[in-house]
Amino acid sequence: MRLLIKNIARIYTPESQLSYGQIKEYNDVHVLAEDGIITDILPATNPLPAADQSVDGSGKTLLPGFIDPHTHPVFWKTREDEFIMRVQGKSYEEIAEAGGGIRNSVRRFREASKDELKEITRERLSYFPRFGVTTIEAKSGYGLSTKDEVKALEIITELNEEVSLDLVPTFLGAHEVPDEFQENRRGYIDLLKNEMIPLVAERKLAQYCDVFCEQGVFTVEESREILQTAQKFGLQSRVHADELSAFGGAEMAAEVGAQTADHLVKISDLGIQKMAEKGVIPVLLPGTTFFLGKDEYAPARKMLAAGCEVALSTDFNPGSSTTQNLQLIWTIAALKLKMLPEEILWATTLTAACSLSLDKRIGSVEVGKQADLVLLDIPNLNYLPYHYGINHTMVTIKNGEVIFRRDSKY
């Protein structure tokens, strides 16, 4: 199967041999993909190569398909009531302490059948390609019992076979301490270590293990214990770290050799230094800070200055960030993290791929890479975050196949 994207006005892409924030630009080219792999990027003055299917790129901009490296898509009911409570002045932490937040989603999740959850998750996942996203990391974490966490991970595994985008599964059994273990948190940690992690690993239901390391959730010591147990079973580490307080999560992530530490709004200077030394990738989620109505954002510029290569994500979940539009995150990252479009392009493509160990295969427009691409109706890269809150995607291509197409603008 040969796919031709013809007369593309411009391509912007990171490349592995360039440094972070440097991009390659092509003008007036055709891109040819064969059996899902990019085989040629040739001047548009060349005769049109033969193809089974063609897409018109005239006037459009081609980027690597976006990669969203931190999402929580398997949940049941939405939580707009808590959103209004926040509008009225309650904080996310106060709502969580009163039994709302993640534990609210856990109670609801357990009431739903696997089929119901799978159906609603399938519907939600269909939004990602519409916004140009071709790969996401997807976490469990609203089940918090062996049966319900397995249910979430089975849904992710099964949907990965069915839907057009790729899902990378992460076990987040340590998202919260569920209601029935509130008086016995040790009991829940033992359950995670002795039952859930071994089972998830044995059934190959996840590639990563994540922990919400935060004041009132899991301590640094507990998080380390859980992540190191998971590592023994072959699950690599990602950490929800230093989101609401400077808690030592980033330092711990560096110590255990985590692949990423995520959120990092309150990260200490020492945490930044240790992450840079160990090459832990910061996955920043400025949409969450925005949606929680907070004013302090992650110190992205400090991390970049220290040599960290930053990735960006929506954090799509029913509580703290409900957007699936990574293009909106571009705008928030530009304004609030002071990241430039060239850096944001890396952060949402090749660096995001790196954070999932997929950078050899996806994340850039290069011959030999998988044809995961997005064609946008933008005249230049700066325009993407500038014209904000809308969807610029015209065509999304996954593995050399068109998975989303829109003929009219917006």
Note the residues at the interface with Fe ion (CB under 5 A). Answer: 315
Nearest distance in Å: CB 79, ligand NIG: 7
Query: Cα(166)–Cα(293) distance, rounded to whole angstroms?
Result: 31
**DSSP per-residue codes, 146-189:** HHHHHHHHHHHHHHHHHSSSEEEEEEEEET---GGGTT-HHHHH
Query: Cα(354)–Cα(102) distance, rounded to whole angstroms?
Result: 28
- 8 A C-beta contact, residue 90 and residue 81: no
Nearest distance in Å: CB 143, ligand NIG: 13
Q: Confirm or reject binding of residue 121 to ligand NIG (CB under 6 A).
A: no
Residue found by looking up tokens 């110590």 in the block: 255
Q: Confirm or reject binding of residue 266 to ligand NIG (CB under 6 A).
A: no
Q: What angle do CA 353, 357, 361 make, to 5 degrees?
A: 65
Selected binder of ligand NIG within 319, 341, 363, 400 (CB under 6 A): 319
Q: Which residues contact 194 (CB under 8 A, 6 or more apart)?
A: none
Span 187-216, contacts to ligand NIG by CB under 6 A: 212
Span 67-96, contacts to ligand NIG by CB under 6 A: 72
Using Cβ positions, the residue closest to Fe ion within the complex turns out to be 315
Tell me the site size for ligand NIG, rule CB under 6 A: 13
In this chain, which stretch among 97-105, 153-161, 332-340, 358-366 interacts with ligand NIG, using CB under 6 A? Answer: 97-105
| 173, containing H or E segment | strand 166-174
Question: Strand, helix or coil at 366?
Answer: coil
Nearest distance in Å: CB 321, ligand NIG: 6
Selected binder of ligand NIG within 129, 286, 318, 341 (CB under 6 A): 318
Contacted by 3, from ligand NIG, Fe ion, none: CB < 5 to 8 Å by type: none
Residue found by looking up tokens 């220290």 in the block: 306
The residue among 77 and 122 lying less far from ligand NIG, judged by its C-beta, is 77
Query: Cα(390)–Cα(350) distance, rounded to whole angstroms?
Result: 23
Residues that bind ligand NIG (CB under 6 A): 72, 101-102, 105, 212, 240, 243, 288, 315, 317-320
